[in-house]
Chain A
Amino acid sequence: MTVSPFASALDCLTRVRGVTAALVADERDGILVDARLHVGQRGDRVAALAASLYRKARLSAGSAGLGQVGFLQLEAANGRVCVVGRGDLVVVAVASLDANVGMIRVELLRAAEALA
């Protein structure tokens, strides 16, 4: 069985306390590339929405003259979504509110380096 090139990075992400899903998606198409999910989680939806959000932030920041975007976090009442992009791909972590965001950020940036 072929191991995905993203397997190691995703495994590291899911080991961070509070992370409930980790995935890699195509930023332009919003299509799932690889994922670590729990049963019942819709990785395709997370991929599409997170990629679209990141892309919007990246294009908006560029238009506003703020340069390229690195780490992005969306915080909601019952959870958070963290994204880092590199090239055509984004790495996404879905986590609970009490998750260690600093650690998630470190692992996402590390995973993004591995995408390059």
Chain B
Amino acid sequence: MTTAVVERWVEAPLETFVRDSGVSIALLLHPSGQVMAQHGFARAVDVMTACALAAAIHASSGELGRTLDGRPFTQLHHAGAERGISLTEATTRAGRFLLLAVFDHATSLGIVRLYAEEFAGALALAAPAPPQHLEPALAVNFERDLNRNLAVLFGRA
């Protein structure tokens, strides 16, 4: 399995995370659901689905945290019978990102969380400075950007 990235600066931190943590699938995305990088997926439609669901889960759990605790929850773990998922945030000067990791008995939640924390640090170090003038994020551009990113990830760009 290989790691595919939309932007080069993400590649090294994500490859290190996948190698050290032993996760089977990893997905880096914007909180809006735009994919940045993936490891372990074979089909673009699976990446789109996972991104959409991860973004929605993060948004609703954030609201739940604000309601219960006055601040959003930033880490989430679901335990399945054979596999589990971990959803964590990584904040950089290039923006905030979500890391979705899927893992099985070959590793553990504690190890995944340890390396997710290291990944967040490495990503922050690797992130480029934001451009001086940012285009406004328009809904009309969302689908264009999503399709472009998926094409890059699956070698069709």
Contacts and interface: CB of A to CB of B under 8 A. Distances in A.
Direct A–B contact in the complex, CB atoms closer than 8 angstroms? yes
A20 interface: no
A49 B114 contact: yes
Interface string A2-13: 000000000000
A51 interface: yes
Nearest to B84: A29
Interface string B95-116: 0000000000101111101100
A28 interface: yes
A29 B109 CA distance: 5
A31 interface: yes
Contacts of A32: 110
Contacts of A26: 110
A31 B108 CA distance: 9
Interface stretch (A40-48, A65-73, A75-83, A99-107): A40-48
B90 to A, nearest CB: 18
A84 interface: no
A30 interface: yes
A28 B113 contact: no
A51 B113 CA distance: 14
Interface string B108-129: 1111011000000000000000
A25 interface: yes
A28 B82 CA distance: 12
Contacts of A48: 108, 110-111, 113-114
A96 interface: no
Of B105, B107, B108, B113, most A-chain CB atoms within 10 Å: B108
Of B110, B113, B114, most A-chain CB atoms within 10 Å: B110
B57 to A, nearest CB: 20
A44 B107 CA distance: 15
Of A29, A44, A55, most B-chain CB atoms within 10 Å: A29
Contacts of B107: 52
A32 B111 CA distance: 12
15 contacts: A26-B110, A28-B105, A28-B108, A29-B108, A30-B108, A31-B109, A32-B110, A47-B110, A48-B111, A49-B110, A49-B111, A49-B114, A51-B110, A52-B107, A55-B108
